[in-house]
Amino acid sequence: MKLNKTQLKYYLGYVVFSMIAPSAHSSVCDTINVADYGAVANTHRNSAAAFKAAAAECSRRPGSVLLIPPGRYDIWREDCAKGDYYVSNTTDEKEWPDKTKYIGIHLKDAEDVTVEGKGALLMMHGRMTPMVIDGCKDVTVRNLTVDFERPGGFEFTYTDVVDGYVTVTTHHDTHYDILPGTRIAFVAEGFSTEGFPMQCIAYDPATGYYTYSGDWKVLRSCPVEELRPGVLRFRTPAGFKPVKGTSINLRDVIRDELGAFITESSDVRVEGVTMHYMHGMGFVSQYSRNLTFQDVRCEPSRGRLLAAANDFMQFSGCGGKVTVSGGRFVGAQDDGINIHGTNLRIVERLGKRKARLRFMHHQSYGFNAFWKGDSVAFVNPLTMLRVDTAVVAGVKRIDERLVEVSFDRDFPVNAVVDEWCVENLTWTPEVEIADNYFSRIDTRGILVTTPRKVVIKGNTFDRTGMSGILIEGDSRYWFESGPCNDVTITGNTFIECGYNNTADNPSGAVIGINPSNSVMDRNHPVHRNIRITDNIFRMIERPVIRAKSAGPILFEGNTVTGIKSAELLFNGCGDVVVKDNDMPDPVIKEN
């Protein structure tokens, strides 16, 4: 075909335009740059509205990239995105009834979206949740750092201690006011120690131990004077003599915000993200599936000690596979990683196939816990065993605490109202936790209860205040999940774990297995198939393992040092094998 000049002109123009113009799915067209929405790096200007608008646009455009160019971006609570969320293990109706979260990056119903940080720093101002991923599919967050300009954790160090006086030096990120009556109030953006109950932890740099402390109960009512900016002298009661050089961490106990919230989402990857501080809980993943956390660092910046007021990571009612690898978790006033489900109690039978169920723990309620088609188990709290199973035929929400659930079959006739619980088996994950470092954590390194395969390998637990690993499960207090069926703990290093509990406490053992059942049968244990192999235990005087109602248990190829005798304690356990370990004077007790 021969073209005339006019046809040739339009044809060549079309070809050139096709080569340079972005298509509807090209990387140029689908890149949403926060700078185009008004965010300006390294200026201290408020970028909250820009991040709110850019994230909302990403949520509307599948396949898009939320680009955050390098630099520091300041985000204030007042202008950020907001959302109402009930979050597991956070606050009850009385201590904090307002469920509004103030959100730095809010992705809602997004699909195939990447948040590309390019190494950017997001600096939060006020009580905030830096990120929420809600109802999303296939989301990746990477190469991003989050910090708080004035974190809600307050820190000071004893520099002089005499009878009747102590002198402290505050961390430069810790601000304070001297109140009438010469009392102290530590202040952050939007709150202070005057308005909130506080938890106090002491850090001893000589031992590396992070322990509970009653010092704040004394100091908060003591007369204080400012010797110079950042240096305070308290007039203290006789006999009050903390150890010079010890640092105190205070944090607000109200869990109104969190580090990041992933809810009712699937295929979420968090890669190369650093969280220097998280107000309240850290990463909380709730009823989400297939979650990967790679090279995530949760540790403080600027010489601080505290990075999270509560758990670094909590997975509540998740499914698919949960993977946490290559991370650092340093400086939390609660657990490193906690993986569990939620037991709801049967409070009313409505025929043979329908019941009303209730959220029992005061801090966990209001969220969706069942969907039609889910498989569930009926749990007897006396034995903590799954007695029978069924499939959910229908769900009706009554209120924030009550849900009405119908099943595809009659549930057990011996199920006791106000005693037995229902556990969602569909929302229980396979777990792999590998090559992570845990330190300066006053409670446990890892808690895990799921019936699916669990592998904990190649991790270092450096002076966790309680057990390095705890397998629990209960329907009496926390109402968290139930039996484990397949757990491998291999190639890990445990260093002086358990110092915050006595040797006779399950959380004083380096590895604790402690379901809440009151009736034990070694032929029908709660937790099954637990293999503890090829680990290194550098001990203080605590049991290596304290296990209740578990079996088979294999303890093989482990090395234990630092103590005169190695205690391995088993209560109501069946089929326990201890062999080929290198440990001093083993003491194996079975009840």
pLDDT(471) > 80? yes
What confidence tens digit (pLDDT) does each residue in 303-351 have?
999 999 999 999 999 999 999 999 999 999 999 999 999 999 999 999 9
pLDDT bin (cut points 50, 70, 90) of residue 23 is very low
pLDDT at position 524, please?
Answer: 96
Cβ proximity of 128 and 105 under 8 Å: no
pLDDT band with cut points at 50, 70 and 90 for residue 224: very high
- Using one digit for the tens of pLDDT, what is the confidence trace for 182-216? 899 999 998 899 878 899 999 999 999 999 999 99
Residue range 185-194, pLDDT digits in tens? 999 998 899 8
DSSP output for 568-581: EEEES--SEEEES-
Residue 293: both structure tokens together: 């956390």
Number of H helices, E strands in the chain: 3, 50
Categorize the per-residue pLDDT at 499 as very low, low, confident or very high, splitting at 50, 70 and 90.
Answer: very high
Q: Across residues 515-533, what is the average pLDDT?
A: 97
Q: Reply yes or no on whether the pLDDT at 6 is more than 70.
A: no
In the predicted model, what is the mean pLDDT of residues 465-487?
Answer: 95
User: What is the rounded CA–CA span in Å between residue 155 and residue 171?
Assistant: 6
Q: Average pLDDT of 211-227?
A: 96
Q: What is the mean pLDDT of residues 502-510?
A: 93
User: Could you tell me the two tokens for 479?
Assistant: 């109402």
Q: How far apart are CA 537 and CA 534, in angstroms?
A: 10
Distance set, CA 308 to CA 109, 350, 370, 496, 556 (Å): 28, 43, 30, 22, 35
Under a CB-based contact definition with an 8 Å cutoff, are residues 384 and 306 in contact?
no
In the predicted model, what is the mean pLDDT of residues 390-413?
A: 97
User: What pLDDT is recorded for position 29?
Assistant: 57
Cα-only R_g, the chain: 26
Q: Which of 526, 512, 528 is nearest to 568 (CA)?
A: 512
pLDDT at 117 over 80: yes
Q: Scan for tokens 């509560």, then name that residue.
A: 310
Cα 147 → chain centroid: 17
Please say if the pLDDT value at position 154 is more than 50: yes
Mean pLDDT score of the chain: 94
Note the pLDDT of residue 115.
98
Alpha helices by DSSP H, 21-135 = 48-60
Instruction: Look at residue 515 and tell me whether its pLDDT is greater than 60.
Output: yes
Q: Using CA atoms, how far apart are residues 561 and 313, in angstroms rounded to an integer?
A: 30
pLDDT score recorded for residue 575:
96
Q: How many residues does the chain have?
A: 591
What pLDDT is stored for residue 315 in this prediction? 98
Token code pair at residue 65: 């990239």
d(CA 97, CA 75): 25
What are the tokens at 467?
A: 């057990």
First to last CA, the chain: 93
Contact 156, 232 (CB under 8 A): yes
In percent, the amount of the chain with pLDDT more than 90 equals 91
User: What's the pLDDT at 482?
Assistant: 84
pLDDT tens-digit readout, 126-147: 999 999 999 999 999 999 999 9
Residue 10 has pLDDT above 60, yes or no: no
Mean pLDDT for 511-524 is 96
Asked if residue 517 lies in contact with residue 549, where contact means CB atoms within 8 angstroms, the answer is yes
pLDDT surpassing 90 at residue 22: no
Three-class DSSP category at 507 = helix
Assign 1 a pLDDT band (cuts: 50, 70, 90): very low
Q: What is the mean pLDDT of residues 378-392?
A: 97
The confidence score (pLDDT) of residue 25 equals 35
Q: Are 316 and 282 in contact (CB under 8 A)?
A: no
Return the pLDDT at 24: 34
